[in-house]
Amino acid sequence: MALKILALGNYGKSAPYHPFDEVQNKLRAIFSDAERFYATDDPQSLLDVSRYDAVLSYLDIWGRVLPENAARALADYLKNGGALLALHNGISLQGDKELLSLIGGRFVSHPAQEALTFCPVPGDHPITRGIEPFTLVEEPYRFEFTGDEIELLLTYDYHGQTYPAGWCRRAGAGRVVCLCPGHTPEKFDDPMHQRLLRQALDWCVSKERTD
């Protein structure tokens, strides 16, 4: 499927923890079959979001919120059938209450980085079909679910306890996937992670119930 993708992040000093500069190139390569892959740090691009089949969020806006018009445009897009794939810090969209509700979960905290093995939840979901456990040195994000109809996709074990690392949900007529991995550009070089991202986006843009 030739998709038009809008990828949002923050560059340089505007992204104190997760600059988009190199990550955008990794994502562009992963989704190289897209008809258009437009990467930007301008939230006003969301005012034209209906032109796109999917939004990738790598926004690094902790403690901030999207401009009101951009947040409403993204929320309306999702409720009317749009697709959102939030990667790692991309969940920082949570600063807007309506977007938090549509995403269904929020980032709470994380301990220091260490090697984490990400494991698909047993089942036959299209997003995790064929995905085998993969290990990355990552930030162990802690999430709190805020919505219902959350479908857990991915977990990791941390010192004997299991934590959620990815989920999907329907948001109005749209679809949302949130995934924990992605702290630095090299995290997108793992082949299994790349496959997970492609399958997640495929599910997000699918209009048929295949699961």
Q: Is residue 61 part of a domain?
A: yes
Q: Is residue 118 part of a domain?
A: yes
Amino acid (one-letter) located at 140: P
* Partners of 161 in the β-ladder: 158
Q: Is residue 164 part of a domain?
A: yes
Give the Å distances, CA to CA, from 22 to 5, 11, 18, 115. Answer: 17, 9, 10, 22
Q: Is residue 211 part of a domain?
A: no
Binned average pLDDT, 10 residues per bin, the chain of 211 residues:
93 93 98 97 98 98 96 98 98 97 97 98 97 98 93 97 98 97 98 98 78 40
Give yes or no for a contact between 152 and 60, defined as CB atoms under 8 angstroms apart.
no
Q: What is the CATH number of the domain that holds 75?
A: 3.40.50.880
Q: Is residue 16 part of a domain?
A: yes
User: What pLDDT score does 147 carry?
Assistant: 80
User: What pLDDT score does 81 carry?
Assistant: 97
CA gap 69, 80 in Å, rounded: 16
DSSP string, the chain: ---EEEEEE--GGG-SS--STTHHHHHHHHTTT-SEEEEES-GGGGGGGGG-SEEEEE---TT----HHHHHHHHHHHHTT-EEEEEGGGGGGGGSHHHHHHH-EEEEE----EEEEEEEPSS--TTTTTPPPEEEEE---EEEE-SSS-EEEEEEEETTEEEEEEEEEEETTEEEEEE---SSGGGGG-HHHHHHHHHHHHHHH--S---
- The pTM of this model reads 0.96
Residue 32 CA to its chain's centroid (Å): 18
**Strand duo 105-109 + 174-179: pairing:** unpaired
- Residue 121: give the domain boundaries: 4-205
Q: Is residue 210 part of a domain?
A: no
Q: Is residue 197 part of a domain?
A: yes
CA gap 22, 20 in Å, rounded: 6
Number of domains in the chain: 1
Q: Is residue 106 part of a domain?
A: yes
